Chain A
Amino acid sequence: MTKHFYTVKKLPIFLAISAVILIAGIVLFALFGFNYDAQAGKSFEVTYDAVVTIAGGEERVEEICEDTFESLGIGYEKKSEAAPAIDSSSLASTGDMTVRYLFAEDTSADALRSAQDAVESVIAGEFAGADVYIVVRTQGAALFFGEPAWRGAVALAVAAVVVLVYIGFRFGWGRALTGLCLTVHDVLLTLALLAITRIPVAFATLLLFAAAAAVISLLLWMVQCMKMREMFKDPAFRTMDAEDAVNECGKASCKAVLCVIAALAAVFVVVGAVAAAGTRAFFLPLLFPLAVSAYSSLVLGPALYLPMKKLDDRSNAKKGRYVGKKKAEKAEE
């Protein structure tokens, strides 16, 4: 007897794997939330006159700041490039430039005060009559906007349901229902993995990860559905029981699904490898939704579809649907 990979018996194992990750994610989310990159901390801002007193000395000002931080043993988390200060009404440049360093919240206030004094004195020594203003601000985390979050979740849910209605008409309701389960599973599992791995994410990118998970999940399940539809048309499949049919189809569609996964993985890896740090932090974690969708379309999906196919076959048998004389003869052969 051939051992099948996709069996109803294995379904609880596959679901258990997902459940463990999901529960771990929920627990970590409840305890710590996502690792939001909320840009909270102490901001060391240097505003200087870049037109007259420190004209052409922008790089030197930054060098002085960074050398001072190094000598005091304090390291900044993020540096915002020097940008012009602007007039509030016209948004025209005032001639001043501001360079900003963001330090961790626990950075010593005394150390920052020392840095402020040191930078001021060095700049005053190097640039005669330099017009410099240094301020250290304690900035809180960006406040959370709730509306984009719930509207985003509703949008993805509505869109997924609508497109799965289309899939229902085109590929059958069993496959549509499986697709819906997989999409929800993939989105939740992606968010769980982000909570578990503590990868820093901005709020907006979190929504994008969820959307990417839905897109990849649907795309891969569509590939499976197409292959199933194509293969199940074959009269030889009509005589097979659901388990045989799904396993045969799973073997045949594996290559196509892997090709799509490989193409997407290549894209995320190349963009992640070549791009700058900020964009890398967005594109490389996209491998999470890809891995989750790969797991669900190659492993979980067909196993989940199996009971539905059995029900479908049973219902078709009950109805005693007329399949046509020629098809029936072919199937008998």
Chain B
Amino acid sequence: MGKVKSAIVLTLITIVIAVLCVVCFVPFPCDGNGLNYFNSILGIAEKDADLGGYLIGETEYVGGGYSAVLYPEGVISGRDYENDLAAAAEDEKEEFEADYQAYADGAIYLEKETVLDGENVSESFKEDFSRAVSVLEERLERLHLPGASVRVVNDYTVGVFLPASYYVAGAAFDHLGRMGELTVSFGSDEASAETIIPAQRGTEQPASYYIKKISSRTASGVSYVILDMTDEGREAIAEATEGATSSYIYFNIGGEPLITLSVSEQIDQSSLYISGSYDEDSSLLVATVLDTALSSGTEQDLTFSVGEISEERAGYGSNALTMLYIALGVLLAGSAVFFFVRYGRLGFAHLYTLLVYLIAMTLCIWSIDFLTLGVGSVLAVLFGAVALSVSEAAAYEYVRKEFAAGKTMTFAVKSGYKKCFWHIFDAHIVLAALGFITYFIALTELSVFAFTLGIGMFFSGLCALAVGRFLWYIMMPFAKDKAKFCRFKREEVEEDD
């Protein structure tokens, strides 16, 4: 490539990289009065529960999560008790006080009739609570949310944490706590609807006799809750909806409807696909709650009500992300310095390549739905950056050897890259395959790490073999002394006298 062409291409590439760097990494205020801000792509990228921080101007917090305390029937918070007591009429206060017993230094209050057996908590309540916690745990586990947790608090309440990246957290707290038997009712309104599953025909069969399983699916951007019916279930629904014009089917848990399906004609299908306003997360949530109620719900189950909810800041603290960016900046600078010292101005080619890699990874983390910025994804990006730097250094060393052996720079580059191509290819393909295969089987944080590793290795390989070499190619024409440009030397040959 001629000098002029190289200059034009290099200038264009420099401008594109500079603009992308600003867009990806540099937030700034857009006006003098500090009301409008430009947030970088890295800033607005989804963060996990442990890493998070405010966007510029403290307009919004990204990362962290939500925590809620769920109270089973018969247990209320100390604050609710105080408020209810204050709100009660004077003549009812004594009765109200007599109904409850303080527990855990007044953090919670237990309803004597429901929870206590004399002075102590009844064994049946303990069993019911324990079973309800197991169902809650199973539901949360099946949602596969990175960072989500459930724990018992004050012996008889449950603390649930959901990551902020889970958009249906508000609904999830409510739905997860719904316990009880799954029933299906049909009618023109909720109050008058008649239960059709389990059928009121003298049989003692549970809902699982009529419905095989409940799952969710997303295809072409539409999410469904899918109910696979048995023959008996199909028959029960077909019989109930025969001649229906404007009625509803209610899918209830513990008597409360979770899905309301309008019916304008007879439904006679072995699988019911219910769409509506669901997205992938909400359809999975509803399907999970219904399916667990189908498999283990009973009339005696304790239902939870949602108590205090608060936002939780990132687990590692708000400055963790800033410090991590600083650390990454130090590493980038360190890598550039090493390449400038060892390979002279060829360090620019490496710097540009590394920036292209980081920009590509930032755009991927921002644009791919299930990827969040957490320690796992940062580690995967770092593995990619190390693989890229080592690959480039290896390629440069091969070229150095070829050049030292007496080849011209153009042939040395060609020959050096040819010799190390399969080394770089093998290393990257192995680690990318490791990442992608792990991603397909693993869950939560490990799957995020694995997928990021996969794309990291893909971009690292691409940058090392194509971008880096191309940048070297277009930077070379500017050097008068090509060997000096790369700090390469010819091997000294002893001359015979």
Asked if A and B are interacting partners, one says yes
Residue A2 at the B interface, CB < 8 A? no
Which of the segments A61-69, A160-168, A243-251, A318-326 contacts the partner chain? A160-168
Contact A211 B153 (CB under 8 A): no
Known: A137-B104, A139-B159, A282-B375. A86 touches B438 (CB 8 A): no
Contact A156 B438 (CB under 8 A): yes
Known: A139-B159, A279-B320. A214 touches B445 (CB 8 A): no
Q: Which residue of B lies closest to A274 (CB)?
A: B327
21 pairs, CB–CB < 8 Å, chain A vs chain B: A88-B309, A109-B105, A138-B104, A142-B149, A142-B150, A155-B439, A159-B437, A159-B438, A162-B433, A207-B445, A207-B446, A218-B430, A219-B427, A223-B427, A259-B390, A267-B382, A270-B330, A271-B331, A271-B382, A279-B51, A282-B375
CA distance A215 to B432 in the complex (A): 10
CA distance A282 to B173 in the complex (A): 30
Contact A276 B319 (CB under 8 A): yes
Known: A222-B427, A271-B324. A140 touches B433 (CB 8 A): no
Residue A231 at the B interface, CB < 8 A? no
B residues less than 8 Å from A208 (CB atoms): 375-376, 379, 445-446, 449
Known: A86-B310, A259-B390. A143 touches B431 (CB 8 A): no
Interface residues on B, range: 35 or more
Which single member of B68, B144, B450 contacts A155 (CB below 8 Å)? B450
Which single member of A47, A81, A91 contacts B170 (CB below 8 Å)? A91
Residue A152 at the B interface, CB < 8 A? yes
Contact B442 A276 (CB under 8 A): no
B residues less than 8 Å from A140 (CB atoms): 151-153
B residues less than 8 Å from A260 (CB atoms): 386, 390
Contact with A along B386-405 (1 / 0, CB 8 A): 11011001100000000000
CA distance A80 to B434 in the complex (A): 36
Least Cβ–Cβ distance between A175 and chain B, in angstroms: 12
Contact A84 B311 (CB under 8 A): yes
CA distance A142 to B352 in the complex (A): 45
Contact A204 B444 (CB under 8 A): yes
Q: Which residue of A lies closest to B376 (CB)?
A: A208
Contact B153 A259 (CB under 8 A): no
CA distance A170 to B429 in the complex (A): 12
Residue A32 at the B interface, CB < 8 A? no
Q: Which residue of A lies closest to B444 (CB)?
A: A148
Please give 13 more A-B residue pairs, beta carbons under 8 A apart, in addition to A138-B154, A155-B438, A271-B331.
A47-B308, A147-B443, A148-B141, A148-B144, A152-B442, A159-B434, A205-B375, A219-B431, A226-B426, A226-B427, A274-B327, A276-B316, A276-B323
Residue A135 at the B interface, CB < 8 A? yes
Q: Which residue of A lies closest to B389 (CB)?
A: A263
Report the 7 A-B pairs with minimum CB-CB distance, sorted nearest first.
A278-B316, A155-B441, A274-B327, A159-B437, A155-B442, A204-B445, A276-B320
A residues less than 8 Å from B27 (CB atoms): none
Contact A151 B441 (CB under 8 A): yes
Interface residues on A, range: 35 or more
Contact B437 A148 (CB under 8 A): no
Greatest chain A CB density within 10 A among B151, B169, B429 is at B151
A residues less than 8 Å from B137 (CB atoms): 143, 145
Residue A24 at the B interface, CB < 8 A? no
Residue B461 at the A interface, CB < 8 A? no
CB under 8 Å from chain B, chain A span 8-54:
39-40, 43, 47
Contact A264 B442 (CB under 8 A): no
Contact A211 B449 (CB under 8 A): yes
Contact B169 A279 (CB under 8 A): no
CA distance A267 to B440 in the complex (A): 28
CB under 8 Å from chain B, chain A span 69-110:
80-81, 83-91, 93, 98, 109
Contact A214 B434 (CB under 8 A): yes
Known: A263-B389, A270-B334. A137 touches B154 (CB 8 A): yes
Residue A328 at the B interface, CB < 8 A? no
B residues less than 8 Å from A113 (CB atoms): 105
Least Cβ–Cβ distance between B131 and chain A, in angstroms: 14
Least Cβ–Cβ distance between B399 and chain A, in angstroms: 16
Contact A88 B423 (CB under 8 A): no
Contact A170 B426 (CB under 8 A): yes
Contact A277 B386 (CB under 8 A): no
Residue A236 at the B interface, CB < 8 A? no
Contact A270 B390 (CB under 8 A): no
Contact A219 B387 (CB under 8 A): yes
B residues less than 8 Å from A277 (CB atoms): 316-317, 320
Residue B26 at the A interface, CB < 8 A? no
Contact with A along B124-146 (1 / 0, CB 8 A): 00000000010001001110101
Residue A55 at the B interface, CB < 8 A? no
B residues less than 8 Å from A40 (CB atoms): 151
B residues less than 8 Å from A148 (CB atoms): 141, 144, 442-446
